Structure 1
Amino acid sequence: MSTSAAAVHGLSEPSPWVRDWAHLVETGGAVLDVASGAGRHARFFASRGHPVTAIDRDPAALDLLRDAPLVTPLVADLEGAAWPLPADAKFAAVVVTNYLHRPLFESLLQALAPGGVLVYETFAQGNESVGKPSNPAFLLAPGELLERVRGHLRVVAFQDGYLAQPRPAYVQRICAILEAERSDDPMQAASPRCYGLAG
């Protein structure tokens, strides 16, 4: 991503999906913005009083966050190296948009603190018919996010289907919580109980 493109991405509005579920994040709780780019979501959560760790492999994009209050940029290759945070680093929210690297799912779940919220949104199968990405490696299979959190988190909302705005795309998105009373062992947390589908 060029610096100018990163700037536009970083200063654009947060995803409506992220904005809609931000109220579930513990007041003042730390947020992890994964594959943050220039940090539109990092800035959004920081504006709400959350300290944010913004991880991306693009140092030019993260440079745009150097002076952002409450934001700690972290340059890291999420696909070619080990998880860049300590095992005991826990967050009130983990946010991922427009990014998919399946081997990270376990680390994302382990990064949630008790009561922590996973807000995830990215492209799904079918997107190859309307644009990019079209590589199956970057497109979620039907219901894949539900399967990834099943037995770990309680699902608050889930959508899987076609969206016309802001541009035609097939997307899948989830908001799910690590229930505090079951968080001693996230592998034993509640299975998904309720969700809504959008076509």
Structure 2
Amino acid sequence: MICPNPAVAATPAHGAQAHSEWITRFAHLVQPGGTVLDLACGLGRHTRLFHASNHAVTSVDQSHEAIQSVANIANAIETDIEAGPWPLAGRSFDAVVVTNYLWRPLWPLILASVKPGGVLLYETFAQGNEAYGKPSRPDFLLAPGELLQVCQGWTVAAYEHGVLHQPDRVVQRIAAIRPAESATDPAPLQA
């Protein structure tokens, strides 16, 4: 069970709320001055967090409003990553940040976007959230332990699954470090 942080309140609009306490807590795992991908960035709450810490940020979202809100501080890419081609083919980052977003077919591309030794910071809704509202469809809710399975073979710095409050919701989150590549590792995925 997650110990809630009542000081962190959220508003309904993704990206308009305060920084995720999880992302803030594990931002120190990102190499100083390293590159950060804020995937499905919303209005850029985490883009702003990492930009303020002197990271070069690439922000991706399908919303024109979202991309315009971060265009002056990030490499802002407006695209539908679920329907279109992967816009980051051949690129990798010291950190990939994803919050309140889940599209399972992208797992291989998301993982391949993390440089060896880089970190994945991921937080989204999980099974049980249907008791609190949306999202409630299983397609948009992580199964117990799903992020651990996705990051199998990586070093898990932290993992949680449980209820948070203000607003009430069920989330799963992970901070995982990709292992350094060896000569036997496969080449990164291309889309």
Q: TM-score with structure 1 length normalisation?
A: 0.83
Partner of 1:108: 110
Aligned length: 176
Instruction: Give, in angstroms, the shift of residue 181 of structure 1.
Output: 5.5
Taking a change above 3 Å as real, the CA distance of residues 67 and 132 of structure 1, as seen in their structure-2 partners, is same
Partner of 1:3: none
Taking a change above 3 Å as real, the CA distance of residues 19 and 182 of structure 1, as seen in their structure-2 partners, is farther
Instruction: Give, in angstroms, the shift of residue 10 of structure 1.
Output: 3.9
Instruction: Give, in angstroms, the shift of residue 32 of structure 1.
Output: 0.3
Asked if structure 1 preserves the Cα contact closer than 8 Å seen for 2:14 and 2:100, the reply is: no
Q: TM-score with structure 2 length normalisation?
A: 0.86
Instruction: Give, in angstroms, the shift of residue 33 of structure 1.
Output: 0.4
CA distance in 2, matches of 1:80, 1:90: 21
Please point out which of 55, 64, 72 is paired with 2:75: 72
* 1:109-148 alignment, distance < 5 Å: 109-148=111-150
- Say whether residues 1:158 and 2:159 are aligned partners: yes
The two structures, once aligned, show a CA RMSD in angstroms of: 1.9
Counterpart of 2:117, as a letter, is G
Structure number with the bigger relative contact order (C-alpha 8 A, sep ≥ 6) is 2
Asked if structure 2 preserves the Cα contact closer than 8 Å seen for 1:178 and 1:186, the reply is: no
SS in 1 for 2:70: coil
- Say whether residues 1:86 and 2:73 are aligned partners: no
Partner of 1:195: none
CA distance in 2, matches of 1:109, 1:49: 23
Taking a change above 3 Å as real, the CA distance of residues 98 and 43 of structure 1, as seen in their structure-2 partners, is same
SS in 2 for 1:121: strand
Counterpart of 2:158, as a letter, is A
CA distance in 2, matches of 1:186, 1:38: 35
Structure 1 alignment gaps of length 5 or more? 1-5, 188-199
SS in 2 for 1:117: strand
Instruction: Give, in angstroms, the shift of residue 184 of structure 1.
Output: 6.6
